[in-house]
């Protein structure tokens, strides 16, 4: 029979993991809106900046810096990628994107997320991945423990890996939570109908 101390030692990481996942779930559920500045770095090292606006359920907007002709908007059902330079619009279901973790408060992340070990106890990293749908890619969200933030965690950003292995890193700054956000913030101009820019 295994000694009690050994059983506790084996159970401790699992307990910590489930406790930390609960913290993350509490944070995600307690954030109804968020705005932040973001810095996006792609696998080639190209960096873009902009403003992120999030409103649950399902709405998100990546407004890139002036001069960047792209926009990404989630309207609750789909994510839309708009490229104004070529007047192209692509849509895909939010549920098929790792971003669904962030903007769908009903998702039980314990079913497909795990804590990623981090040497810094102030940092909590969570990887979300659906093994039944590897084509959706992976997201690793990075939180800092912060008693003043919703659920005691401050979202610092995330790393997304698509099914082709392309890595995109988003870093956040100036996060503001649960302030009023108008539904109009998620409207956009369709470049296929006019030359208008959003």
- pTM metric for this prediction: 0.83
Listing DSSP states for 38-58 in one string gives EEEE-TT--EEEEEEEEETTT
pLDDT in tens, 26-53: 898 899 999 999 999 999 999 999 999 9
Q: Do 64 and 70 meet the contact criterion of CB atoms below 8 Å apart? A: yes
Helical residues (DSSP H) of 98-192, grouped into ranges:
100-103
Angle CA 174–99–28, to nearest 5: 60
- Helix, strand, coil percentages (3-state) for the chain, rounded to 5, are 25, 40, 35
Q: Is the pLDDT of residue 3 over 80?
A: no
Q: What is the pLDDT of residue 29?
A: 87
Q: What are the pLDDT digits (tens) for 51-106?
A: 999 998 889 999 999 999 999 999 888 889 999 999 999 998 877 777 776 776 56
Write down the architecture of domain 12-182 according to CATH.
Clam (2.50)
Q: pLDDT digits over 113-124, tens only?
A: 889 988 999 999
pLDDT confidence band for 7 (50 / 70 / 90) = very low
Q: Is the pLDDT of residue 110 over 80?
A: no
> Hey, how many other C-beta atoms are within 10 angstroms of the C-beta on 6?
10
Task: Specify the pLDDT at position 163.
Answer: 79
Residue 13: what pLDDT? 37
131, pLDDT greater than 90: no
Backbone angles phi, psi at 108, to 5 degrees: -90, 100
- Looking at residue 5, its pLDDT comes to 33
Q: Which residues contact 2 (CB under 8 A, 6 or more apart)?
A: none
Task: Give residue 9's pLDDT.
Answer: 33
The answer to whether 41 and 154 have CB atoms below 8 angstroms apart is no
**According to the model, what pLDDT value does residue 1 have?**
40
Give the pLDDT score at 152: 94
* Nearest CA among 92, 69, 68 for reference residue 79: 92
């Amino acid at each position: 029979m295994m000694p009690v101390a050994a059983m506790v030692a084996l159970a401790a990481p699992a307990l910590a993991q489930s406790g930390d996942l609960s913290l993350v779930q509490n944070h995600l559920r307690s954030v109804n809106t968020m705005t932040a500045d973001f810095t996006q770095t792609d696998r080639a090292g190209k960096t873009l900046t902009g403003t992120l606006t999030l409103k649950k359920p399902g709405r998100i907007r990546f407004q890139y810096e002036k001069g960047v002709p792209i926009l990404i908007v989630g309207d609750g059902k789909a994510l839309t990628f708009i490229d104004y330079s070529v007047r192209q619009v692509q849509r895909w279901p939010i549920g098929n994107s790792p971003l669904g973790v962030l903007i769908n408060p009903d998702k039980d992340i314990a079913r497909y997320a795990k804590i990623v070990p981090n040497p810094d106890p102030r940092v909590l990293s969570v990887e979300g991945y659906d093994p039944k749908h590897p084509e959706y890619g992976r997201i690793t969200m990075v939180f800092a423990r912060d008693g003043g933030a919703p659920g005691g965690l401050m979202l610092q950003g995330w790393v997304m890996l698509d099914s082709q292995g392309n890595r995109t890193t988003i870093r956040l700054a100036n996060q503001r939570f649960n302030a009023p956000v108008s539904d109009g913030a998620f409207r956009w101009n369709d470049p296929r109908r006019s030359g208008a820019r959003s």
